[in-house]
């Protein structure tokens, strides 16, 4: 068990920002959650990467589903564990035994992922299509950019409108937020509407900074 991620920042039931570890989760809850998911995987003889999803409220968590795959937000887990989850999944598919021991796993620091979309937040997050005339992400220490988009790329109506994932790592949550805000504000993306400003507004929001938010946050913000 590689720890939890918070994916509460959503629009249209799709995630926008993910954090690891989750703010507001006590160590006691974290340990209970970890034991439950590892016990469940052993019980069903599950092999491979998988993600258990829960709703969390007032110190209790409630099972929703298990996704039997690596998810889009896996980089935040990679950033705090130092593990390459895709590499590990390939090794598992080859029948190799992993040399990782649960008791030796230790999460380090804080990671944050922002999904940059070609969409119009002011118009019910309507997806945008067209050509990105110019795209350039800043080069700063601790920033990882996962993207297949570059200048002159075409955003088609046939695929998901996500342009890129920005993932940052820092020693703590506050510094991770500062680093992500800098990265977003210094990203150049011309020719199409995006949610870049919205992401910065979220990071500037007092409630988000304090970890006081839920899955309806964006409904109230916009």
Catalytic annotation, residues: 69
Identify whether the C-beta of residue 162 lies closer than 8 Å to the C-beta of residue 116. yes
Q: Could you please report the per-residue DSSP string of 22-55?
A: PTT--HHHHHHHHHHHHHHHHHTT--S--EEEEE
What is the CA angle 53-54-55, rounded to 5?
140
CB-based contacts of 200, cutoff 8 Å, min separation 6? 181, 184, 185
Left, alpha or beta for 28 (phi > 0: left; psi -120 to 50: alpha)? Answer: alpha
Identify whether the C-beta of residue 4 lies closer than 8 Å to the C-beta of residue 21. yes
Query: Could you say which DSSP state residue 73 is in?
Result: T
Nearest-angstrom CA–CA distance, 156 and 188: 20
Which helix or strand (DSSP H or E) is residue 86 part of? helix 85-93
């Amino acid at each position: 068990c590689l720890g939890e991620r918070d994916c509460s920042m959503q629009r249209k039931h799709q995630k926008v920002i993910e954090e690891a570890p989750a703010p507001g989760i006590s160590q006691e809850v974290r340990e209970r959650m970890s034991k439950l998911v590892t016990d469940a995987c052993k019980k069903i003889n599950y092999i491979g990467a998988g993600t258990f999803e829960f709703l969390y409220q007032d110190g209790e968590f409630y099972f929703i589903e298990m996704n039997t795959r690596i998810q889009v937000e896996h980089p935040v887990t990679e950033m705090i564990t130092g593990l390459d989850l895709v590499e590990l999944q390939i090794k598992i598919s080859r029948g190799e035994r992993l040399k990782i021991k649960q008791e030796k796993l230790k999460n380090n620091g804080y990671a944050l992922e922002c999904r940059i979309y070609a969409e119009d937040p002011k118009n019910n997050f309507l997806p945008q299509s067209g050509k990105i005339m110019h795209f350039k992400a800043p080069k700063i220490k601790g920033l990882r950019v996962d993207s297949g988009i570059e200048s002159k790329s075409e955003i088609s109506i046939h695929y998901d409108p996500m342009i890129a994932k920005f993932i940052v790592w820092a020693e703590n949550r506050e510094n991770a937020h500062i680093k992500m805000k800098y990265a977003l504000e210094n990203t150049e993306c011309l020719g199409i509407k995006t949610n870049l400003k919205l992401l910065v507004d979220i990071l500037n929001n007092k409630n988000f900074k304090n970890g006081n938010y839920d899955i309806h946050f964006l409904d109230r913000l916009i």
